[in-house]
Structures are given as C-alpha cells and as structure tokens.
Amino acid sequence: MTMSEPFSLSIKSVVDRLNSNTNSGITESKVKERIKEYGKNEIAAKLPKKTIKILIDQCNDPIILILLVAAGLTFVFNDDLPETIAIITVVLITVIIGFIMELQGIRSLEALRQMGFTESTVLRNGKIKTVKSSVLVPGDILLMEVGDVVSADARLITVENLAIKEASLTGESRAIYKHVNVLPRATILSDRKNMVFKGTTVEQGSAKAIVVATGKNTQLGKIQEMGSTIEEERTPLEKKISALSKRLIYLTLFFAILIIFTGYLRDLDMRLIIETAVALAVAAIPEGLPVIATMALARGMMKLSKRNVIIKKMEAVETLGATNIICTDKTGTLTEDKMQVHTLIFEGEVLSEIHNKDNVYFENIEKSKALNVIIMNSVLCNNTILNAKDMKGDSVELALIQFVKKLHINPKEIKENNPEELEIPFNTSSKLMATLNVTEKGFTVYVKGAFESVINLCNTILKDNKSQVFKNKKEWTNRVNNLASQGLRVLAFAYKELDEKPEKNKVLSQLTFIGVIGFLDPAREDVKATIKVYKEAGIKVVMMTGDHLRTAKKIAQEIGLLPQNSVSSSILHGQDLQFETEPNPTMVTNILNASVFARVTPEQKLKLVSLYQVNDNVVGMFGDGINDIPALHKADIGIAMGIRGTQAAREAADVILKNDKFTAMELAIKQGRAIFDHIRQFVVYLLSCNLAEVVSVGLAALLALPAPLLPLQILFLNLITDIFPALALGMGKGEVDIMKRPPGKANEPIMSAKRWKSTIIFGLCITTAVIGITAYAHFVLQLTSKIINNMAFYTLVLAQLLNVFNMAESRVSFFNNEILKNPWIWSSIVISLLITVGIYYIPPVSNALFLTNLSTEQIGWVIVFAFGSLVLSQIFKRLGFTF
C-alpha cells in the first residue's frame, strides 16, 4: 500500500487506496494496525547515542587512559599486582559510574524531548481529535490551520487560502500557495502544490489532507536518513569542562616529570618515584567533574519540567543564567488575552462600558446604519470558526462575535447569507484585514484594522446614515488616542458597496469610514511582581508590540514596566526605527534606553534583537506566531507559550512555558543561575581538593617527608569522599539573593581569576593541614610512617569534606548560606564518613588502602588539623582573598 506519486492521483483514488474516508477518517483499530505496519511517525532528528558508544566514550577519556598507564607502570616497575588490580578496579568503577550517570542523563533528556512533542488535529471515527503527531498513520485525515507544523506528508483534499512555508525542505523562503488539482507525474518536489510535507509550517489559511507517508518515508525523513550521522553536539559547558580537564592533565604531566627528575637526581628508589608520580597523576584529575556537571544540568531541566517549564536544549540552561534582556509581546503574555468589546464610537455617537452588560440593547439598532454595517463587518471580516463547540480564533475576532451575540444576532446566519468572494488576510505589516462579500446590495468590501492603516484608505465617512466627505480625520485621531490611553486595543472599521465585483487591486481604495471599537484586555495580575523581580535581578524587560503606542504605554504603566509619569524616551514608535540603513549612534542609544516599542513589525523585532546582541546583551524573546519565528531563532533564548503559541513557534523555541505564564520564566532564570553557580561551586570544590592532594604529595616528596598519601588512597578520596559533596552542591536551591544580583556575562568562563585564586587558597589551606600533621607526627610525635600516613590520609578526608563549606559566597554569612542549609550536603558528609570508617572493617580494602589502627589522641590531632584548615580558609575568605 505504499504510494509513490500521490500528487499524480485524484483525491478519490488516494483515499480509496488508503482505505480511508474524507468525512470520518479511519478508525482507532486501523490506526493501531498501521502503526504496527509502518512504525511510528518519528524521525530521530539526531540519532541518540548507542549504549555501547556511551560505554566506549567513557573509556576514551584521557583521565581513564592516564589511570591505565599508571596501572601499567605500577605493574612493570613495581611488580605490584594487588595495586595494579586495585587501580584497574577503580578504572572499572569510574567507567561504570560514568556510564550509568550518562545513560540516566540521556534518559531524562529523552523524557523531556517527549514532553515537547507536537500534536496534530485529525478526523478519526468521524470525530475531530488532537493526537500526538508520533501516532499519525497513512490514511489519517489531517486538519490544519495557521501556525501548525505539518507532521506528515499528505495529499490535500480541501484548501482555504492555504500557504505553506517550505524553507526547511526546499530552501524556498516565500510561502507557497497550495491547491488540490492533480499534477503530472514528472512534477518536482517544490512544485507539488497539491501536497503538504512534514516539517513545513502553515503560514496562512487552513486545509484538510490525507496522510500518505509518515516517519522515515516522508520527504524530510528521506533527507535526514541520507545524512543522519549527525550526533548530539556537546554543550558549551561540556566543552569548557573538557578544556579545563585537559589543562589539568598538562599540569599533572609537569608535576610527574618534576618528581621523577628530582627523585632521579636524589638517587631515590625507582619504586618510590613511580609510586609518587602515579599518586600525583591520580590526584590531579577530578574524575567526576564532567559527569557531575551533566547531571546538574539534566536535574535542573527535570526540576523545571515539573513546574511547567520545558527546556529543549541543555545549553539553554546555561544561557538562561546570563540572560539580561527579555523581550516580550503584549497580548496574552502581559495581558490576559481575554478581549471584550468595551467602547464603540461612530460619528456623533459613543457607546461605552459594553463589556459590563450581558445583554446589549440599542434602541436605535434598526435606525443606525453605522451600527448595522459594523455588525456585518464584525461577522464577515472575521475568521472565527463558528461551527465548533467552542469557538476558535483570534481573540479580537472572538470578542467581535461575542459582542454580536449579545445583540441577539446570529453570526452564522449573516455568514451564510453573505458568502465571501475574496479575503485579504491580516498581516502584521499592513495591520488590516479585508473581505469581499456578496450582499443584498451586490458586493460589499469590509475592512478592519489598525486605525492609521484604515483611515488612509478612507475618503468618506458614514454620518447621519449617509456617506459624507471625511473632513475630521484629526478629530478622529484624538478620539482614538483617548481610547488607547485607557489601555484599550483599538480597531477601525470601513466598508464600501459596489454593484460589480472589483478587481483585486481596487478592493482597498475609496472606502467609507464607519467608526472604531475599543477592546478591553486587562493586564495580568501577577506580571507586576515578576517585572519587579527582574528589575532587582538586573534583567531589563522590553515590550515589543504591534499595538498602538498609547495602548502599549498604558499597559506598560499598569504592569510597572514604565513609571506612571514615564518620559517619552522610554517608548519608541515603529516608524521611528530606521533599519534600512545602519542606525546612527543616537538612534542606537535611544533604542538601548527604550523599554517599549509600539507598532513594530516582526522584521523590526528581529533587528532589535540583533542590535541588543551586538551590544553584548543576552536576549530572551517571547514569541507565539509564525512571524515571530526568525526572532525566536535569533534570540539567545527563544520562549514560546505551550497553550497559546503556535506549533511552529514551539518548535523554534528553546524554552516552552506549558502554562502560558510570563511569570514561569522567572523560575527558569532562577534555576539557570543556580545551576551555573552550582557548577562553579563544585568545580572549585573538586579542583581545590585535587590541588591539595597534588601539592601534598609533591611537597612531601620534595621535602623528603614520609609519603603522606598513596595512589589508592587518593583514588578512594577522589571517587568516594569527594563525589558525594560535589553531587550535593548540585542539589542546592541557590543563594537567597540569587535574583537580587546582576546576571553573569555571556560566555563567562566557569573559572574567573578570582575563582582560580580561591581554588589555590582553599587547596593550600588543606595542604597546610596535611603537611602540618605529617611534619608534626614525624618530628614532634615521632610516629611510624604507616601511622603518619594514616593520620595524613584521614586529615585529608575530613579537611576535604569540610572544604565544601568554603564554597558559599563570602557576601553571605557563614551561618546563613545555602550550603549550610542544604540537607544533601549534610547527608553527603555523613555518608562519606560512614564509608571511610566502614572500609576499615573490610580487611581486603583496608589492606589495599594501607590502613591501621589510630589511637584516640591521634584521631584528636586529625580533627584539630582538619578543622584548622577550615578555619584558615574562612579567615582568608573573610579577609576578602577568596569569593
């Protein structure tokens, strides 16, 4: 039942071959059979990494290779089989932990991807249903409207003004108008105008089509199959971390060579030299770092998804933390998007507060021609779908239908009695919509749109039930400004009656102005508080709207985006933005200072986003329509609404707010900042611990002190005791003041100069404790080297665990920081301590780690030195030497 050229067949033969029905679709049981036969309608956009590949990648890590070399050296030079086996066991454990964590990370990402799935509207069992696009099958009858992403290849059955953007498939950027006629077999892909293809978007109109190919069999599937070796790109963070690891490897090599060289000069035992060099290699490398970072990102994403924020790409989390400008539209994001007709103004008549009345009764309804024409205009120049149970459509258009219903007039009847001949659809540049209808009088053109756009087309006005010369345009401009200043969205209405059908290019001229309607769309209650939070967090909110300047200003004042007595420089009008030529410096300054842009087009929004980016800003952008897609792509973080946004916008966005709440973005930014903070914390934590190990081993060797640490002891520290606190750091909530400080810079490295300095100071404080106890036990207490080694080892364990408390920012008090309040930290310390004590009682492990019994006094010294390192670090911190 595969269909090679459905475009060359009649609709009937396609439908018959697929055993479907254009009015009722297929049954659910047939769907099940066909999913079995054709598979799900999915294309792996990026092939998920194979399990085996994840495993191999773990072994491919330079860290693992160094450990293997260390094991080899130990075996060859030291002939130490137990230690070699121990190192190899550790390597295996590292590989397995890394493997499990990465697999889990990938699983949770996969789960997130599932949440961002697209949906399609289909006819099944005679009913209209919304289903996941992954379960579309050949034979399904697909219903599409503006903003939908086409989810399968389908042959068109009916079209209404359908235009499709196929750039993703053919590269053609113009929308292609479609029809349903049969085409010759030789028609090339881009000319198959009776078909729609997976991955393209509905730019205009609506259609019904029958699915002919799904998943891999679609045109998109075939293209992707050809080049499907594209693999998941590494996130910038992963790249930064691996660059950091590389640096550490060089550092290790340097130290190892230094130790071997000085050992050789001092004519030391080769066995000791190799052992020390291996210990160093092991010490320097933060084994858990990449995995912990990925886990922290994945966990943050999962946490947000539970709160209705879906982050589609891992790298977005990092960018979120650095976002410093948020561009938003007005309707629906800052306002409720529950439009209601509030005021009607005709020449000589004002009808206001209509929204408060359930039933509207106008005494002169019969007599007022203006009112009658505006009713016809409201219904006919309107794309609301009337026959569905809940009416669907644009919010102003829905409001118009509701208004007409309040007058006890049936809009459906008006539509049926005045069929549409032509439609000039609304677009954001012309800012108006027009229809040509066959009416009692012959033909009537109805136009509605932005006041400035409509008034330019009118030379007459309906006054005293007659068309008269339109002389008082200025007066009308003032009336509209007044309405807009109340925060109302204003639409102007015009019409003309004709005996004959006009040519298309003559439709929009010599119109008669009827009047205007002001729509009430209240600002969202919760937005005000969020705007305040953003202000404190150093994030600028910018409103970019297609609406009237005064409407925008009023709403901006209501939500606290502009002060009540705002100066005009905070608001710019679209017509003042000249992007055709390079904007001059004054213009750039004006743009950067403004918070509201009114009457801007989607192209201007895109230009504004670019301008912000060129000026070193990280931009988040809200968008919901087809026209917003370029700007959503361009912005550093594209944000779409889950309910109101079109599928195409959701597809283009990096973040989807499932509950459509502007305020939800606050959570995402907070989480982004917290994650980045945590990653920095555990990078500093792990590096300072490792540095302490390296310097302790190195110094002890150079000073010819008894070896404080053995390779296996260090591996134990790095893999067991360090990992838990590091993981726990990633579980924190974020500092209390996280939204009270400015955002980080774009591309900020994980480690700033200050953080490197802090790492060194913390590392050296631990080293001081370890070398201190070694020297004290050696010179003062004069203990055996095994006991000295154990005291040094336990001091290191404890000092490293306590080091976690140094990771809080110095601006927060020691007793009130997020780390002290994080229960995970306390649990991780307890677990690490229990393991450290526990292994002493497992003879093979305790032997391999060279452990022995310590007296209470010796344990006492361990505690004193370990806490000493914490006190020392805190002194440096309070003196301002560290972060």
Enumerate binding residues for ligand ATP (CB under 6 A): 329-331, 394, 396-397, 426, 428, 431-433, 448-450, 489, 491, 545-548
For the beta carbon of residue 77, count every other beta carbon within 10 angstroms: 15
Is 526 annotated in the active site? no
Which backbone phi and psi does 624 adopt, to 5 degrees? -130, -20
Asked if residues 752 and 244 have their Cβ atoms less than 8 Å apart, the reply is no
Q: Measured between alpha carbons, how far is 239 from 219 in angstroms, rounded to an integer?
A: 34
Q: How far apart are the first and last CA of the chain?
A: 68
Q: Measured between alpha carbons, how far is 651 from 450 in angstroms, rounded to an integer?
A: 30
CA-based radius of gyration for the chain: 35
How far, CA to CA in Å, does 822 sit from each of 155, 186, 303, 730, 826?
Answer: 58, 68, 17, 10, 7
Nearest residue to ligand ATP on Cβ basis: 546
Which backbone phi and psi does 155 adopt, to 5 degrees? -90, 130
Q: Nearer Cβ to ligand ATP, position 544 or 808?
A: 544
Contacts of 461 (CB under 8 A, 6+ apart): 347, 467, 468, 469, 470, 472, 512, 513
Q: Nearer Cβ to ligand ATP, position 432 or 804?
A: 432
Which residue's structure tokens are 């206001």? 352
Q: Which strands form 596-598's sheet, in the order they lie side by side?
A: 309-311, 655-657, 637-641, 619-622, 325-328, 540-544, 596-598, 571-573
Q: Measured between alpha carbons, how far is 706 from 699 in angstroms, rounded to an integer?
A: 11
Q: Nearer Cβ to ligand ATP, position 196 or 492?
A: 492
- Which contacts (CB < 8 Å, 24+ apart) does range 871-874 have? 872/765, 872/768, 872/769, 873/761, 873/762, 873/765, 873/803, 873/806, 874/806, 874/814
Contacts of 80 (CB under 8 A, 6+ apart): 74
Asked if residues 453 and 432 have their Cβ atoms less than 8 Å apart, the reply is yes
Q: Measured between alpha carbons, how far is 603 from 610 in angstroms, rounded to an integer?
A: 11
Query: Positive or negative, the Cα torsion across 23, 28, 30, 31?
Result: positive
Closest among 333, 355, 324 to 552, alpha carbons compared: 333
Closest among 373, 625, 396 to 491, alpha carbons compared: 396
Query: Positive or negative, the Cα torsion across 840, 843, 848, 853?
Result: positive
Contacts of 185 (CB under 8 A, 6+ apart): 5, 8
Helix locations, 730-805, DSSP H = 753-775, 785-803
Q: Measured between alpha carbons, how far is 534 from 738 in angstroms, rounded to an integer?
A: 11
Which residue's structure tokens are 């990092």? 318
What is the DSSP-derived secondary structure letter of residue 821?
A: T
Return the ∠ at Cα 835 (arms to 832 and 839), rounded to 5°. Answer: 150
To ligand ATP, the closest distance from the beta carbon of 217 in angstroms equals 38
Q: Nearer Cβ to ligand ATP, position 332 or 672?
A: 332
**Which residue out of 61, 329, 624, 677 is catalytically annotated?**
329
How far, CA to CA in Å, does 697 sit from each of 278, 281, 325, 706, 789?
Answer: 10, 10, 48, 10, 11
Closest among 385, 505, 480, 473 to 121, alpha carbons compared: 385
Asked if residues 147 and 646 have their Cβ atoms less than 8 Å apart, the reply is yes
Q: How is 844-876 classified by DSSP, letter by letter?
A: HHHHHTT-----HHHHHHHHHHHHHHHHHHHHH
- Write out the catalytic residue numbers: 329
